[in-house]
Structure 1
């Protein structure tokens, strides 16, 4: 491992090996066990390899892990607030022993790095959730990922990198910490203010960043996250085009735009501290911390997970030790009489203040309504409109779920016919039985295989939705968290409507057209949904129908009426 010492940000770890060592590792890797990395793990690996996670040299061992949870510090006392761990499934961990090199590969099989495995351990994830996020409420996306999607075993050890994960988009903006430090030095920027964002930027954001840079007499880095963000966020392709459009309206040479391949955890105060550390590694001297920075929204009681200034208070507590200064986010308001933005605490009492909420902006985009120039520049709005057409032109997934015999497939077929009758958008039916025949014929009916089948349906539906079509899905999909995974995936591309066919078990069993319930009662079929395996009902579906008192045509009409009300039909 080499260390680069730069004028900005202190010591930067470089975990990428030279060509000779890379060839040596490649030749030896034929005998290495492999781990295929998830999207989140790819983001973490990239920031380990390029120095963004300095001083980390690999995935945390158990002692460091507990130090981070309990004290926001590594075992040597260094401030580090977020556990960077490599989680794997039990069967993967079972074939690994400390002392082994492990090849870390991307989903296409390319070896990106070698993990020199030092230990494996099984975390208490409930404890981790409480320590890192302050809650075990699954309404928090970081908690939901940790408890429901991450593997039960953590691998630890130092990493040697052969190459960074491959990206083919916006390559000129994907600057490493060393490259960005060099850029700052070329510009003569001794002070740099970084602005973190996962949303499109409008005129208020431009004004607050300009003021922050001016007050600190510093250059400005717009440094948006383009790894994993909050489920439902606007895709990074659209956002980056918006940032590029906005860049045209900054004074020449005072701002630079670069992309951060970070997998956010939406961890509020700890996340803000983490963001500050990362920006220090990228060569920044100041960091803007927003109100409810990296907050995930509401908990199960409809309350914010974190206080509005918790993040600012935590970063302020550590800023002397970190060596990067916090710049508190100033909320900006548009004052009509002055035709300019002012910090809210400078707005005259008798002034006319104009506002547009994020919800209202999304509504106007969906309905094709005007977004005024005082709120955002026309070229930024044009980029948003390209990727977010009105609802009646968007792709859409209608996801039926319910017990076997509830009537899902029948209603889905009626709906398919009605959509073809209406015309205007391609429509595809992904029925549970048909998908099993053509896409999942090798799968059984264990919980793992049922989840995999539903995820495959979700993936195909997401591709249809992404390309403007309508996907009608009709599996049983008994487990809530997998249905929610599909929602998260699909809502990034278009609409997702969950339809709970809540026909009672006794009605479904009385129909029993396939004889499955009788076989389950006789013990001939094991783990049958509704008999000896649970069906987890949707908590808040968009549509709920009971086919015991509705005809298939009536049930399909209920779905169509909801789609019309929601704006998906015109």
Structure 2
């Protein structure tokens, strides 16, 4: 069943005609109905949403994902994946799906209701289940992202962290997710349209960003607005972006500091709680539709819009102008005008920023990459005035003080008895012998006793255990600390999840302790291997359960090849070479 039914069949959907074409569908119930549904929700099956699902639900409820009225059912999903269209032919490039586990889906059938909650268990909406289906996620990755390379963050999430079952159906909103930061900047499509109307803005060009903005961004947005005679909407994504991006708190402070650099009354800042997929051309098309729903008449599409960078072979996932070309092909039905723009570069001899396609052969071009900017911040060296504004640089320096140690996680993985805990203790001892940096050890057995008490040894429980370790490690790393983790972590997908959590804030160093199985068995003081071989212990890694050998760890060591101190020295040498610890 399609989720784009006309108004008469919309049920909870509140319709608002968009000034630039299309219909805005808001899915929040009136207060009295919402309260009644909230009271009834306590008796329904409940699903606590993750960050991506929360962002998707918020934008569904507010109408930002119009014309959708819920999570995609199978017919809509299949056509979106294959053709970038809903079942009724409406242009829509990105699957908006609600993934769940096999166990959760087992208790549901079409006609069931599920209450959707935030991480604190607060009910936000009720899903009317219309469809339960098992997608081919590898096929989805190849069609939507154009690749199955897990270097792509959208692919890694889809293949490794997305549930195997999708629930499709309409949602009825009880209340929006709570936000306690930058509340005056968190517009809904309706409230932002109302602001535009009240201030006489009719031509609005929207700019998407997930990075701090500098002089090149200001010049690009000013030129684009002037080119089409429009006011400027700066609408950064603040839901979830690429792992390793500058946190949204810092970015929004930078955007605020930049606003006075625009002519008075010409620019408006508004935040978009979008979970980006980094899907390149398809994502750019999606961004344009969302900005149309927020009331923009034009949308800036830059070079490699929403691209995640390079693949495992060092090649860009998407061509620099693929997004612009895709949007231009669909310009007639989009309902928002596209403003394609090249990269802006600083030309020394003209002391000005110019579009890259206007640079002459004799011009001297300067640029600072993200890596170079991070180096300037870390070293405390001067950031040229031509690159950014002092107000923006000040905020970035506050967030990334010079010479501050970078947090990192050492993640030991290997069979039981491989020597992970012993190696971890040796590394910690040598770290503390030469440094006063805070070090936290997350040993497999200790974590099982405290953080993961109650979990068993099914694949699902083992993955949950490793994810918990990754989450705690990420918080330690976020505050500049060192986390030393030593679980068995037998499954590659859970290790990738832990890596993604940590790399959002610092470095992740995976060390495969590749001690041969026969050595591990000979070392086994508790007799666990013997019990496993006798069938008295089920799901024992290396005997009755698989260990997926890491393909590309930062370091691979045989725990029986040398004494722990000598092996620990190899690990510390790696950390020094990577600049994670001092000499």
RMSD of aligned C-alpha atoms?
1.8
Q: Please name the residue that 2:113 is paired with.
A: 101
Alignment of 1:245-324 (within 5 A): 245-324=257-336
Distance in 1 (alpha carbons) for counterparts of 2:301 and 2:415:
48
* Structure 1 unaligned residues grouped into runs of 5+: none
Deviation sequence 1:352-382 (CA, Å, 0-9, x none): 2112122222232233332211111122122
What is the aligned counterpart of 1:475 among 487, 490, 496?
487
- More displaced, 101-110 or 492-501? 492-501
Shift of 1:53: 0.4
- More displaced, 44-53 or 111-120? 111-120
Shift of 1:218: 0.6
For residue 244 of structure 1, give the secondary structure of its aligned residue in structure 2: helix
Matching of residue 224 in structure 1 with residue 232 in structure 2: no
- More displaced, 104-113 or 144-153? 144-153
What is the aligned counterpart of 2:35 among 23, 28, 31?
23
Distance in 2 (alpha carbons) for counterparts of 1:367 and 1:482:
35
What is the aligned counterpart of 2:538 among 526, 534, 539?
526
Distance in 2 (alpha carbons) for counterparts of 1:381 and 1:540:
36
Distance in 2 (alpha carbons) for counterparts of 1:406 and 1:366:
37
Contact 1:411 1:556 in 2 (8 A): yes
Alignment of 1:503-514 (within 5 A): 503-514=515-526
Contact 1:68 1:74 in 2 (8 A): yes
Distance in 1 (alpha carbons) for counterparts of 2:547 and 2:112:
42
Moved over 4 A (4+): none
Q: Please name the residue that 2:444 is paired with.
A: 432
Distance in 1 (alpha carbons) for counterparts of 2:503 and 2:207:
26
Distance in 1 (alpha carbons) for counterparts of 2:400 and 2:516:
39
Matching of residue 150 in structure 1 with residue 167 in structure 2: no
Distance in 1 (alpha carbons) for counterparts of 2:374 and 2:92:
36
Alignment of 1:24-39 (within 5 A): 24-39=36-51
Distance in 2 (alpha carbons) for counterparts of 1:273 and 1:116:
28
Q: Please name the residue that 1:558 is paired with.
A: 570
For residue 409 of structure 2, give the secondary structure of its aligned residue in structure 1: strand
For residue 31 of structure 1, give the secondary structure of its aligned residue in structure 2: coil
Matching of residue 537 in structure 1 with residue 519 in structure 2: no
Q: Please name the residue that 1:351 is paired with.
A: 363
Distance in 1 (alpha carbons) for counterparts of 2:34 and 2:45:
17
Shift of 1:8: 4.4
Shift of 1:391: 6.5
Alignment of 1:492-507 (within 5 A): 492-507=504-519
Distance in 2 (alpha carbons) for counterparts of 1:208 and 1:546:
54
Distance in 2 (alpha carbons) for counterparts of 1:373 and 1:154:
50
Deviation sequence 1:484-510 (CA, Å, 0-9, x none): 111111122223222222223333233
Q: Please name the residue that 2:6 is paired with.
A: none
Alignment of 1:129-144 (within 5 A): 129-144=141-156
What is the aligned counterpart of 2:527 among 515, 518, 525?
515
Alignment of 1:34-45 (within 5 A): 34-45=46-57
Shift of 1:316: 0.5
Shift of 1:9: 4.9
For residue 248 of structure 1, give the secondary structure of its aligned residue in structure 2: helix
Alignment of 1:88-487 (within 5 A): 88-389=100-401, 393-487=405-499
* Structure 2 unaligned residues grouped into runs of 5+: 1-12
Shift of 1:150: 1.4
Q: Decide whether aligned partners of structure 1 residues 534 and 466 sit closer, same or farther in structure 2, where only a CA change above 3 A counts.
A: same
Shift of 1:207: 0.9
Q: Decide whether aligned partners of structure 1 residues 504 and 248 sit closer, same or farther in structure 2, where only a CA change above 3 A counts.
A: farther
TM-score (norm 2): 0.94
For residue 150 of structure 1, give the secondary structure of its aligned residue in structure 2: coil
For residue 540 of structure 1, give the secondary structure of its aligned residue in structure 2: coil
Contact 2:18 2:293 in 1 (8 A): no
Q: Decide whether aligned partners of structure 1 residues 558 and 9 sit closer, same or farther in structure 2, where only a CA change above 3 A counts.
A: farther
Distance in 2 (alpha carbons) for counterparts of 1:524 and 1:475:
22
Distance in 2 (alpha carbons) for counterparts of 1:297 and 1:37:
28
Contact 1:392 1:567 in 2 (8 A): no
Contact 2:437 2:481 in 1 (8 A): yes
Distance in 1 (alpha carbons) for counterparts of 2:261 and 2:95:
38
Matching of residue 67 in structure 1 with residue 82 in structure 2: no
For residue 538 of structure 2, give the secondary structure of its aligned residue in structure 1: coil
Deviation sequence 1:361-413 (CA, Å, 0-9, x none): 22322333322111111221222222234565232221111222222111211
Distance in 1 (alpha carbons) for counterparts of 2:196 and 2:447:
53
Distance in 1 (alpha carbons) for counterparts of 2:510 and 2:203:
50
Distance in 2 (alpha carbons) for counterparts of 1:408 and 1:311:
46
Q: Decide whether aligned partners of structure 1 residues 420 and 9 sit closer, same or farther in structure 2, where only a CA change above 3 A counts.
A: farther
Matching of residue 49 in structure 1 with residue 61 in structure 2: yes
Shift of 1:321: 0.8
Distance in 2 (alpha carbons) for counterparts of 1:44 and 1:70:
21
TM-score (norm 1): 0.96
Contact 2:20 2:335 in 1 (8 A): no
